[in-house]
Amino acid sequence: MGTTRRQFIKISALGLGGATVAASSYGLGDSFLSVFDPVDKSHLVNANFKRYPTYCEVCFWKCAGWTYVDEDGEITKLIGNDNDPHCYGRLCPRGTGGVGMYQDEDRLKTPLIRTGEGDQQTFREATWEEAFDLIASKMKSVKENYGAETFALLKHGSSGKQFEHLFQAYGSDTVGEPAYAQCRGPRETGFALTFGSWVGSPEPTDIRDCKCMVLIGSHLGENMHNSQVQEMSDAIDKGISIITVDPRFSTVASKSKYWMPIKPSTDIALLLAWMNVIINEELYDKKYVEKYTYGLDELRKHVQQYTPEWAYGVTTLKPDLIRKTAREMAQAAPSVIIHPGRHVTWYGDDTQRERAMAILNALLGSWGRRGGFYFKEKLKLPKYPLPKYEHPKWTWKDLGSKYPLAQMGLTNEIINSSLPEYDGDYPVKAWFVSGTNLVAAIPNKAEIERAIDNLEFMVVVDTMPMDITGYADVVLPECTYLERYDDIRSATNREPSIALRMPAVPPKYNSKPSWWMAKQIGERLGLQEYFPYEDYAEVLDWQLKEIGSSLEEMKKIGVKNFPRKGRSLYLAEDEDYTFPTPSGKIELFSTRLEQLGFDPMPKYTAHPEPDQNFYRLIYGRAPMHTFSRTANNPNLVDLMPENTCWINPKVAKQWEIEPGEEIFLKNQIGKVSQFPIKVRVTERIRWDSIYMVHGFGHQEKALKNTFGKGVSDTEMISEVMIDPIMGGTGMRGNFVTFIKKENLTAEI
């Protein structure tokens, strides 16, 4: 971006970093849980250690645990809290390695302010006062000149809450996070249209008592969401049959009764064929369907065209396999789960695919049944008494109104509204970014860069010098989750539970918690009445006392479980129940979609296929990393230092590519990967696709452990298919070809 107004600044160029930390390592075994912390932890803990409760921020499952600190005040260990329903006492390898976030010497150490013009731009170290004064003055001028609404908040994780409060007090509800439009948005809309309620997190999947689970591109076990993986592991021991639909032989595929190596992008065809079999063979739960659902006749008619023989032509899965697996599910019903998945923004028709999954669950009667989906419950924490927020003139809802069923702010629409050519009613002029590495999380970096370049002002709050920080005018270093208080975790589960996060050690360097930053900025904006506390601990103590606990108590126990107060976990035999949908029933046929001009029942539409010598780019998770955020973690980098490109042996042979060879990738519009990637030649991937783990290929040199390692999947995603119903960005319609290292110069 050499010639642009907001030049990208490499933090590495500033010489602010330190030396690399020696990394620890621990072994990985075959079973899912061999990488979790041990059940018996007595040998890990010295009696002189002090322990402080926390909940993990390495991913958003929010497992509760203990931070152990030794006599010298050093963190020695992170261990799961035995009473926590999110982790059942055991942290996953990323959670155990979370201490690396604290120890990482590449951390952001002090506030930074952009100075200089044109190609001479750089960051200078600044005091917190200077940084806050600048931010407050810009927030004031943006509000005066354009309205507070034009200052957008892009966030993810716990810190986002603090800034959301600041922004609402300031007058902006222009908020978005990649965990919606780049993640679970379509499933929440698809399930809400069908059952009337979101799936939510943690998913209310009753895996513990499930007899048959269908995983459609949901790779539990690599996707390490803790209690789900533990429950699945137990269920496997108890003989659950798993049906894995994945073009890749995932870890869970290896534990499955059926692996269905579907042609990518054709899942709706399979789902419709399953419905065809289940309805025509009368395998559905007749009582349940009659009592609770709406639209069976329409659905019956609709799915007649989608026979297993038809689906074979589309999906490459044999009709016999489709029938057998349909019967397998029906036999286990209602203790069956068609798992909704989580990262589901794939092909732009994702809400409809999720609808198909929801409908299949409904036919099998699994919603509200033991071993299917339970009715979740959570404890509503009382709100700390604060003045009401101002009403903004417009909000994220207006900004995303092109997509009628968007239920949260759309990051991609915030980006559109920030572009120079935007001439709509909801222009965005400035960004406040916290806890999200947008350039790694949202495809089409060139567009994000154009948007950023057009901003009047941009703040980034992060713990690490991640790629996004280089675009900021002000960078604020947050201390890690082990060094701060945050909101009480109160999540939905079988039984309500709460968990406390408190500092185990003081913040390293000149880093600070987000609640303090929000308060400081708020006070400079004249919003002190919204921040009437000296320490966030006061807020937590007040809230805890309102529910009969206290900070004192929670410091000792970390997690508190409460009995259910609402309805029971499952529907009783013949129970009358009104679903919160327009018809009060589970909507096999969606009247809402029909009114809005969308297909009321899911249809299959074909998606583009790779040209000759191109392969579909698919991606996913690795057990020891979370997105791009852990790539530099000194504890985790050893376990998996880079991603690899999975290529089928047939393809490798055709290209004369050797295992371990480093190649560059080029996508359908000629974009060549910044770095090379090592090849893994394996039968575990279909010949028409290649696979890589998301979160590598970092371009910021200040990330010393990970700079230049592997390829960023996001970088190769130029084609985005937007879901017309809720605005999610489908990212799996991209195709890549290979460039041998020796041919690189000739190719670009």
Ligand X SMILES: Nc1nc2c(c(=O)[nH]1)N[C@H]1C(S)=C(S)[C@@H](COP(=O)(O)OP(=O)(O)OC[C@H]3O[C@@H](n4cnc5c(=O)[nH]c(N)nc54)[C@H](O)[C@@H]3O)O[C@H]1N2
226/266 with CB nearer ligand SF4: 226
The enclosing H or E element of 445 equals helix 445-453
CA 588/CA 604 separation, integer angstroms: 16
Where are any strands of DSSP class E within 404-456?
430-434
- Using the rule CB under 6 A, which residue among 121, 159, 194, 226 binds ligand SF4? 226
Return the number of the residue (329 or 410) whose C-beta is nearest Mo ion: 410
Sole binder of ligand X in the list 100, 341, 600, 602 (CB under 6 A): 341
| Biggest CA pair distance of the chain | 73
Would you call 529 exposed, middle or buried from its count of C-beta atoms within 10 A (0-12, 13-18, 19+)? exposed
User: 475 forms bridges with which residues in the sheet?
Assistant: 112, 460
With both helix axes pointing from N to C terminus, report the angle between 185-195 and 350-363 in degrees, rounded to the nearest 10: 40
Of 264, 392, 602, 697, the residue at the interface with ligand X (CB under 6 A) is 264
* Residue 494 Cβ vs ligand SF4, minimum distance, rounded to whole Å: 17
Q: Which is nearer to ligand X, 84 or 700 (CB)?
A: 700
**CB neighbour class for 68 (10 Å; exposed up to 12, middle 13-18, buried from 19):** buried
Q: In the set 9, 11, 35, 59, which binds ligand SF4 (CB under 6 A)?
A: 59
The angle subtended at Cα 100 by Cα 637 and Cα 13, nearest 5°, is: 75
86 touches ligand X by CB under 6 A? no
User: Cβ 199 to ligand X, closest distance in Å?
Assistant: 11
Q: Nearer to ligand X by C-beta: 579 or 615?
A: 615
| Binding partner of 530, given Mo ion, ligand X, ligand SF4, none, CB within 5-8 angstroms per partner class | none
* Cis? peptide before 202, omega within 30° of 0: yes
Determine if 512 is a binding residue for ligand SF4 (CB under 6 A): no
Of 470, 481, 464, the C-alpha closest to 161 is: 481
Task: Name the pairing type of β-strands 677-681 and 662-667.
Answer: antiparallel
Strand order in the sheet with 497-499: 489-491, 497-499, 559-561
Which of 655, 674, 654 lies closest to 665, judged by CA?
674
CA–CA dist 57, 41 (Å, integer): 21
Pattern of binders to ligand X over 160-189, x per CB under 6 A?
Answer: ------------------xx--xx------
Q: How many residues bind ligand X (CB under 6 A)?
A: 62
| Number of chain residues interacting with ligand SF4 (CB under 6 A) | 14
Are 110 and 509 spatial neighbours (Cβ–Cβ below 8 Å)?
A: yes
Which one of residues 481, 485, 516, 570 is an interface residue with ligand X (CB under 6 A)?
A: 481
Angstrom distances, CA of residue 344 to CA of 20, 154, 341, 612, 715:
36, 20, 6, 27, 19
- Cα-based distances in Å from 742 to 121, 662, 671, 747: 35, 10, 18, 10
Q: Considering the complex, what minimum distance in angstroms separates the CB of residue 59 from ligand SF4?
A: 3
Q: Applying CB under 6 A, which part among 29-37, 128-136, 474-482, 496-504 lies near ligand X?
A: 474-482
Give the residue among 170, 163, 80, 16 at the shortest CA–CA distance from 513.
163
435 binds, among Mo ion, ligand SF4, ligand X, none (CB under 5 to 8 A by kind): ligand X
Tell me which residue of 170, 182, 113 sits closest to 142, measured CA to CA.
170
* Contact present, 456 and 430 (Cβ < 8 Å): yes
Cα distance between residue 195 and residue 182, in whole Å? 23
> Using an 8 Å Cβ cutoff, are 657 and 738 in contact?
yes
* Residue of 9, 11, 63, 539 interacting with ligand SF4 (CB under 6 A): 63
Taking CB under 6 A as the criterion, the residue among 56, 399, 651, 679 binding ligand SF4 is 56
Q: Is 203 in the site for ligand X (CB under 6 A)?
A: no
CB 9, CB 123: distance < 8 Å: yes
Binding segment for ligand SF4 among 84-92, 509-517, 668-676, 677-685 (CB under 6 A)? 84-92
DSSP state, 582?
T
For position 224 contacting ligand SF4 by CB under 6 A, the verdict is yes
Q: How far is the CB of 390 from ligand X (least distance, A)?
A: 25
Residues 406-435 touching ligand X, rule: CB under 6 A, are: 434-435
Q: How far is the CB of 245 from ligand X (least distance, A)?
A: 4
Cβ of residue 47: shortest distance to ligand X, in angstroms? 31
User: Residue 478 interacts with ligand X (CB under 6 A)?
Assistant: yes
Backbone angles phi, psi at 740, to 5 degrees: -65, 145
Q: Mask of contacts with ligand X, 633-662, x by CB under 6 A?
A: ------------------------------
Question: Cβ 229 to ligand SF4, closest distance in Å?
Answer: 8
Q: Which one of 37, 57, 587, 661 is in contact with ligand X (CB under 6 A)?
A: 57
Contact characters 88-127, ligand X, x per CB under 6 A = ----------------------------------------
- The answer to the question of residue 183 lying near ligand SF4 (CB under 6 A) is no
Which chain residues interact with ligand SF4 by CB under 6 A?
A: 56, 58-59, 61-63, 87, 91-92, 94-95, 224-226
Q: List residues near ligand X by CB under 6 A.
A: 57, 59-60, 156-157, 159, 178-179, 182-183, 216-219, 223-225, 245-248, 250, 262, 264-265, 267, 341-343, 346, 434-437, 440-441, 461-464, 466, 478, 480-481, 618-623, 625-629, 691, 694, 713-714, 717, 731-732
